[in-house]
Amino acid sequence: MNTNPRTHLGFETVAAQPPQPAVRLSLLKPTGHLTLGNYLGALRPMRDTQHADCFYGIADLHALTVRHDPGRLRALSQELATMLVAVGLDRSTLFVQSRVPAHTELSYLLEATAYTGELSRMIQFKEKSRSGDQAIRAALYTYPVLMAADILLYRPRQVPVGDDQRQHVELTRDIAQRFNTTYGPVFVVPEIVTPPVAARVMDLQDPTAKMAKSGESGPGVIYLVDPPDVVRRKVARAVTDSDTAPDAVRRDREPKPGVTNLLEILEACAGAEAAAGITTYGALKRAVTDAVVAELEPLQKSCAELAADPEHVRAVFAAGEERCRQVTAPVVAAAQAAMGLI
């Protein structure tokens, strides 16, 4: 009998493999048009460090946790697929979550590992429960486990995401560790990787809240599809403060959330030195506008080209999904075997 805990489940663990680029996994929800926050916090870092063992997906199942319009979900998933290719993620493995059945298969096994207490503490469920809503879907309670399955299936070492995903990755690590300790070393315990700047881009109208694609505040959100004049208008109206001191243009998150956010966006788009010499909010906003417009221009151009060639996007995803099915099937089988399923 094979008693080596590293190989008895029928697969090699990462520890046994020669050094290679870290497997990475990250998903985006098709719940709205992508924002500058999605781009700076997730898409751009994903692109800049990609290789074939980077699995990047469209989390369409996660769009079902609240009431949704099927037609809109279909259109937004298509738009997101085009955007992922347009950003330049074509050297990664791209997929739509619902087309890789292992995600929901593993999710149930992990539900049998997660505790209700830890799911009750997850922010989205907690906030919705507090609102007194009587029609909270069961999926809003269990989705963090599906998210753990999304991640653990690919056995990534790194999960490149914005800072808002910290609680989800922590839960994933807890579930992976508990599963491995209870049943054997099936999963790699991943670490969160956030970008050095703009890990949390804030809403321009309410700089204490995250810039969110499903956010209420249209004027405070820069969408990746916004044309230059719209970017200019939104940045021009960004909330700052009434400070007129010579050093008013400085990063200081607590007392100056709006100015700090603009400076972070500027630095992320145009480099660490871009704010040097800027002393007025007007000049800061002009510099931010120019930097954002320059950053978005190639992306928008490539999006327009791809919109005319939807077959290309479909083919990229079909190939990615086939690879995902191959990569994930043995991991589900290993988890099933470890739990005693025959």
29 is catalytic: no
Least distance from ligand AMP to the Cβ atom of residue 247, Å: 26
128 is catalytic: yes
Q: Which of 29, 213, 234, 256 is catalytic?
A: 213
Least distance from ligand AMP to the Cβ atom of residue 334, Å: 27
Give, rounded to a whole angstrom, the gap between the first and last alpha carbons of the chain. 17
Least distance from ligand AMP to the Cβ atom of residue 85, Å: 16
Take residue 225 and report the two structure tokens written for it.
């599809």
Residue nearest to ligand AMP (CB): 41
Of 254, 251, 311, the closest CA to residue 278 belongs to 251
Judged by CB, which is closer to ligand AMP: 87, or 332?
A: 87
285 is catalytic: no
Q: Which of 29, 126, 128, 301 is catalytic?
A: 128
Judged by CB, which is closer to ligand AMP: 97, or 142?
A: 97
Q: How far apart are CA 342 and CA 337, in angstroms?
A: 7
Residues at the site binding ligand AMP, with contacts judged by CB under 6 A: 26, 28-29, 37-38, 41-42, 161-162, 164-165, 199-201, 210-213
Q: How far apart are CA 178 and CA 83, in angstroms?
A: 36
Q: How far apart are CA 264 and CA 69, in angstroms?
A: 35
Q: At what angle do helices 310-339 and 70-87 cross, to 10 degrees?
A: 100
**Helix (H) and strand (E) counts in the chain:** 12, 5
Least distance from ligand AMP to the Cβ atom of residue 32, Å: 8
Sign of CA dihedral 84, 85, 86, 89: positive
Judged by CB, which is closer to ligand AMP: 68, or 210?
A: 210
Judged by CB, which is closer to ligand AMP: 140, or 161?
A: 161
**Annotated active-site positions, please?**
128, 210, 213
